[in-house]
Amino acid sequence: MIVRLDQVDGQHFITNRDVMAYLTRDGNDPILGKAYTDVNFRQLETRLRQHGLVKTCQVSRDLNGDLLVRVEPPRPLARLVNMPDDETRRVGGQYVSEEGRFFPVSMNYTARVPLLSGAYFASNRSLASERNRPLLDLLKRIQQDSFWRAQIVELSVNRSGEVTMWPQLGQHQLELGEPVNLDAKFQKLKLFYTNILPAKGWDAYHRVNVQYRNQIVCE
């Protein structure tokens, strides 16, 4: 059996040993030594897909008679965490994938992604729906931009879906409101970091609000 893991950005959420355990149900249904006529490829793929650390998989046979198992883990955008008095306690300790699906943390690897919390997740157990597309787009924008990926370390979403972000540098919080009109809001944030902070200093403000049109509110 040959296991091929399509790792994403060097992330090692899953190992060859994990895949073998998933396929054989922790050794209770061994595969090696079986005739191929007794091996159900589709059933093996179904077993793999039942695990949250498997995004896609394919089981096949090559010309040498080896069983090929290709597995791709999900790619994380953020990590849900439990905060004091936070209603995400029931879903905390999971990652959010690029598809908006929640998947479990791994014993093998901890991804460097922003933390995510807030009462919003008490009633939203996935970001894959059209309703949650704006929030997922926000997480993708942060992940895809090297500046924001390094600067944004935490996001909180209140019950109404309004987002507050905390940066790596500075004592301020960034208030986006609902995650819509992101181009305009991030342009204002870039203006704040390139023009306002250099003139006023990194500790001049504790609150920056960009949710209103044509305004940057700094306090």
C-alpha pair distances (Å), 77 with each of 36, 69, 152? 39, 26, 12
Res 108 pLDDT > 90: no
| All residues at 6 or more sequence positions from 26 whose CB lies less than 8 Å from its CB, including other chains | none
* The two structure tokens encoding residue 158: 């209140």
84 with 92: CB under 8 angstroms?
no
> If you average pLDDT over residues 35-41, what whole number do you get?
92
| All residues at 6 or more sequence positions from 10 whose CB lies less than 8 Å from its CB, including other chains | none
User: Is this prediction's pTM over 0.95?
Assistant: no
Per-residue pLDDT of 128-186, as tens digits, reads 999 999 999 999 999 999 999 999 999 999 999 999 999 998 889 999 999 999 999 99
Residues 180, 185, 187: CA angle, nearest 5 degrees:
140
Per-residue pLDDT of 2-22, as tens digits, reads 999 987 666 778 889 999 999
Please give the torsion angle defined by the CA atoms of residues 176, 177, 181 and 185, in that order, rounded to the nearest 10 degrees.
Answer: -20
